[in-house]
């Protein structure tokens, strides 16, 4: 609403909104006040949102570095940097033993030897892919 290219569109929208409010039963003064509160509040909310989004620049940069970096760097980060520093990437990196204890506590039935086999297979395939990429 504050950008010059949207002034005509915003004014047209305000006219339509005013017409709807008046047809809905408000007198013209009340409708104009409601319209003003709505639009000025929207502009304030948007400016506050834009100000706060600048504060989130560091995580955006971190995500871009991790998402667009070479695979070896991503793997190194996942394996060696503590989870609390990578949480913004969505890589939670839970220990399998902790996850299994949690599942047992919730009453989930599974074969531990089969889970161990899956873990080993995943590690072997990851190592094989890493060696191919290198």
The string of pLDDT tens digits covering residues 11-20 is 888 888 888 8
pTM: 0.34
Reduce the secondary structure of 79-105 to three states and give it as a string: HHCCHHHHHHHCCCCCCHHHHHHHHHH
pLDDT for residue 26: 86
pLDDT for residue 130: 67
pLDDT for residue 1: 53
pLDDT for residue 134: 55
Residues with pLDDT less than 70, the chain:
1-3, 50-56, 58, 85-94, 130, 132-134
pLDDT for residue 81: 76
């Amino acid at each position: 609403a504050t950008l010059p290219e949207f002034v005509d569109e915003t004014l047209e929208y305000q006219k339509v909104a005013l017409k709807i409010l008046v047809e809905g039963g408000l007198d013209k003064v009340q409708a104009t006040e409601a319209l003003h509160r709505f639009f000025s509040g929207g502009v304030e909310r948007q400016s506050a949102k834009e100000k706060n989004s600048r504060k989130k620049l560091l995580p955006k940069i971190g995500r871009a570095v991790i998402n667009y970096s070479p695979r070896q760097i991503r793997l190194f980060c996942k394996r060696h940097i503590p989870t609390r520093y990578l949480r913004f990437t969505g890589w939670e990196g839970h220990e399998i033993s902790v996850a299994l204890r949690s599942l047992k506590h919730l009453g989930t039935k599974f074969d531990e030897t089969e889970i161990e086999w899956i873990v080993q297979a995943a590690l072997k395939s990851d190592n094989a892919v890493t060696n191919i990429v290198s």
